[in-house]
Each structure stands twice: as structure tokens, then as C-alpha cells.
Amino acid sequence: MQISEDIIRSVVTQVIREVRGQVGQTTASGSTCSRGFAGKFGQFDNADQAVAAARDAFELLRTRPMEDRRKAIDHIRRISISQAVELGTMEMNETKIGRLPHKIEKLKTLGERAPGTEFLTTQAFSGDKGLAVIEHAPFGVIGAITPVTHSLPTITGNAVSMIAGGNTLVVNPHPSGRKVAAEGVKRFNQAIYEDIGVDNLICVIREPSLESAAAIFKSRDVALICVTGGPAVARAALNSGKRAIVAGPGNPPVVVDQTADLDRAARCIIQGAAYDNNLLCIAEKEVFVVAEVFDAMMAAMERAGAVALNNSQISKLTAAAFTEVGEGTHKHLAPSKELLGQDAAKLAAAAGVTIDPKVELVFGETREDHPFVSIEQMMPFVPFVRCRDVDHGIELAKQYEHGYRHTSMIHSRDVRNMTKMARAMDTTLFVKNGPCMAALGLGGEGYLSFSIAGPTGEGVTTPLTFTRERRCSLIEDLWILGDPRLNDH
């Protein structure tokens, strides 16, 4: 008989549970948490219970050495990488948006590159009066809201950074990505529990709703919230009365000036805008090209493999791509669920054209006031707008970024134009001559996170984002370069 990995896992878990005592988890000092959440592996139907379990887990984690945080994070990394194909496929099948290879790659990349405990460096000031040490302490339980666009990858990145900082977290995932969120969280917790005997470092609401999000926001045991999503959740977090880290929406513009390497610009725009069918919040959403090189840029896009749509095809696509939502004065256009995150070939079909299914991006010329320019649409169609000159391009980029100060890009060889745009846009991420993901260390320098906190200013989140600074001062001693007491008389 062949024994499956699941059977072995459940027997091992059962044994560990019995050894540690059914009612709770044993702390390093020998005391036990009494609420009996061990063995739940972070699976909860009720927000209050989830917060209570995360609170117990936090109390336990704070008694443990830094090495245990490292071990916990290593399990999250290992599972994200080694089970990326299975979990990525699960996410694709559940959310039905984006592209499978990128779902898999996102999990792997976050597993490999989300910043961990190495970010927690201590600062010290020493002098005649002694020694002051600044260390980074956890907040406690963090409430995390995650988007459908990267359900499990966002949890992976958040969990690595938050646990590195010594916190535990309760996640309210997007309802359309809740199953993969719960499955990933279960696997992470199970492995961590088997190794270090602490369960529920990450708790997840299995049937998330706006009510469960509100309960997490309100809970007295939640010290901090971190939301990753669109305008509604960003507003809700800012109005929650709690300290909030808000990774909000964007509508990243690209400017291409007359000095740009057009073939390189085209390759970068396709790489960024077509990634996971344009679901990235940092992805190139609209392009402003100076008139002098506009036609040459369109030709470069075709050479790089994108397919151009003409005016009437774009009109047909637009009619299918947006629907009116809201009531009365709040009526506005929003991306239609049928085309959001779908393949370029499906968008082309809606435009009345048949293209090779391997084509990653469709594009075409539009006016500046087109819905594809103004709305954060998350589809692999990119509108190109003709501009008088670079100043006009930057002005439009600023207008259609809507003041989110999220991400913008320029393709140029003129450092003055780069500087001018960087100053005008003032975005959290600004990429020169690369695809959007270069700003997250993927093809550029720096580190990675899928929670980019623009509105509240933390930028690309790290473990430090989720810590409090604490200062410990020792007066007169441990300053060894001189002894001020010798001069006392």
C-alpha cells in the first residue's frame, strides 16, 4: 500500500498536538494559551475567533527567538516556491483572471524575494553619555485585506514581512479568491506548526465579507491594518480610526519622447502591460507618445509582437469592455467582469478580430479622454495617445494618473525630460527605460512586495513597515572610547 503525504502529515500533526496538549500551545516559558485554537491551521469562519487565535499566536511568538521567525518564513517561502504550480493553478481556476504562467511565477518570486528578518537592523548611538539602541518591535495582530488580482501572492508577501517583524495576521481575502487563500494559509500554518509548535500565525476568514472586514477593522486586538486594493477599501481603511497602511489603486501612465529607443520601449510596454493580462497595479495602462515619433512607435509595437486595432475595432471593444455602474450622480463606467484580466485574443474577438492566441497585447490609438485612458481597466489593451511634445505628454500623464501617486514610466534618453516627469508625477514608483516590474527588483534593483503603500507613504512594504521603533538607553556605561567620570573633579 502506498502511504500518501497527506496521511503522513495528518498523523504527524496529531502526534504533535497530543504531545503539546490538546487545549493549547505551549510557550517557551512553559505556560499554555488556553483558548484551544491549535490545530485550526488558521481556518476561521468568524472574525472575532480569527483575531483571538492570531492574538494567542502572537503572545506565543513573542516568547520565541528570532530563529523561530526565520523558520516560519522559510516554510512560507518553501511552499510558495515548491507548490507554485499547484497553488497557481488553483488560483487561476478560482479567480478566472490573468495568465497561468504568471500566477505560478508570482508565487515563486514572492517566495524567493519578499524581504525577511534581514531588514531588521539595529541602530545605535554611543557617546559620552552612554549608549542608545533602537530596535524594531512588533505591533501585534495585523488585519490584512487582500485583492483578487493576486490573492495568495499578496498573502505570501504580507505574511513573510509581517511575521519577520514579529507580528501575526488575520486576512480577509477577496471573496473571489478566498479558496486559494484559505488553502495556502492552511499549508503554511501546518508546516510552521509541525516545526516550531506555533499555529495560526496567519489566520484567514474562509467566507470573507464586508462585515468580516469591518469586524477586523474594529477589533481592539488588531493593532494595525494593511489593505491592498482599490478606492473603496482604501477609503474604508483610512476612515477606520486605526493606524492603516494603504496600498491603493493606480492608473500608471507611460511617456515616450522623441529621444527614446522605440524598439526597447515597445518590448518593455508589452512585458509590463501584458503580464498576468494587466492585473498588476503597477502595469502600464496608457501611453502618451510625442507626435514626432508616434507612427514609428506604433510600428515598433507591431515589430515587438503586439497587434494593432483600428478605430472601429477599438469602438467595438470599448462597448464590451466597460459597463455603467452606480446610481444617480454616482453613475460611472467600470471595467466589465467578462473582459477584466482576459487574454488579448478574447479582447480582439470582442473587437471583431481573430488573432493568434499567443499574442500577448493588443493596442491602438485613442483620444486622451477615452475610457481606456482614464479608467484603471486591467485588460491587455493599451491605448496610445498622440501628444504635441514631451511637456504635453507629462501633463496628460499627470492628469490621468488621477493624483494616486502610484507608478509612472518614461522612455527617453534625455535626463532633463526624465527629471521633469519624475518631479511632476511624484509617484511612489518611477521607472526610466524599463518595464513596470523593474521597480520591484524584477529586472531592476531593489526588493519586492505586492503591497505598495502610496496614500499612507510607506512605499514598497518591508518588515520595517510592520514594526514600531523602540529605544533603549543606558546612561554612562558601555561607552568605551573614553570615561567622562574621570573628568568629574
β-bridge mates for residue 123, sequence order: 134
Grid look-up 523561530 returns: 68
Grid cell locating 372: 481606456
Q: 225 and 240 in contact (C-beta within 8 Å)? A: yes
Nearer to ligand NAD by Cβ, of 281 and 347: the residue is 281
Q: Helix, strand or coil for residue 156?
A: helix
Q: Helix, strand or coil for residue 472?
A: strand
Q: Cα 111 to the chain's mean position, in Å? A: 13
Q: Which of 437, 428, 440 is nearest to 248 (CA)?
A: 428
Nearer to ligand NAD by Cβ, of 174 and 398: the residue is 174
Locate all alpha helices (DSSP H) within 119-205, ordered by sequence: 151-164, 178-196
Q: Which of 392, 403, 395 is nearest to 427 (CA)?
A: 403
Q: How far is the CB of 249 from ligand NAD (least distance, A)?
A: 3
Nearer to ligand NAD by Cβ, of 338 and 483: the residue is 338
Q: Helix, strand or coil for residue 371?
A: helix
DSSP state letter for 119:
G
Residues in contact with ligand NAD by CB under 6 A are 145-149, 172-174, 210, 213, 228-230, 232-233, 236, 247-250, 281, 376, 450-452
Nearer to ligand NAD by Cβ, of 227 and 306: the residue is 227
Q: How far is the CB of 401 from ligand NAD (least distance, A)?
A: 12
Q: Helix, strand or coil for residue 58?
A: helix
Nearer to ligand NAD by Cβ, of 230 and 371: the residue is 230
Rounded Cα distance between 99 and 107, Å, is 13
Nearer to ligand NAD by Cβ, of 392 and 402: the residue is 402
Q: Can you list the positions of beta strands (E) in 258-389?
A: 286-290, 307-308, 322-325, 332-335, 362-365, 381-387
Q: How far is the CB of 436 from ligand NAD (least distance, A)?
A: 12
Nearer to ligand NAD by Cβ, of 33 and 213: the residue is 213
Q: How far is the CB of 376 from ligand NAD (least distance, A)?
A: 5
Q: 90 and 137 in contact (C-beta within 8 Å)? A: no
Nearer to ligand NAD by Cβ, of 243 and 413: the residue is 243
Angle between helices 47-61 and 210-218 (to 10 degrees): 40
Q: How far is the CB of 212 from ligand NAD (least distance, A)?
A: 9
Q: How far is the CB of 404 from ligand NAD (least distance, A)?
A: 8
Q: Which of 196, 197, 121, 201 is nearest to 156 (CA)?
A: 201
Q: How far is the CB of 353 from ligand NAD (least distance, A)?
A: 27
Q: 141 and 167 in contact (C-beta within 8 Å)? A: yes
Strand-strand pairing, 130-138 and 467-475: antiparallel
Q: How far is the CB of 213 from ligand NAD (least distance, A)?
A: 4
Position closest to ligand NAD via CB: 229
Nearer to ligand NAD by Cβ, of 228 and 427: the residue is 228
Q: How far is the CB of 145 from ligand NAD (least distance, A)?
A: 5
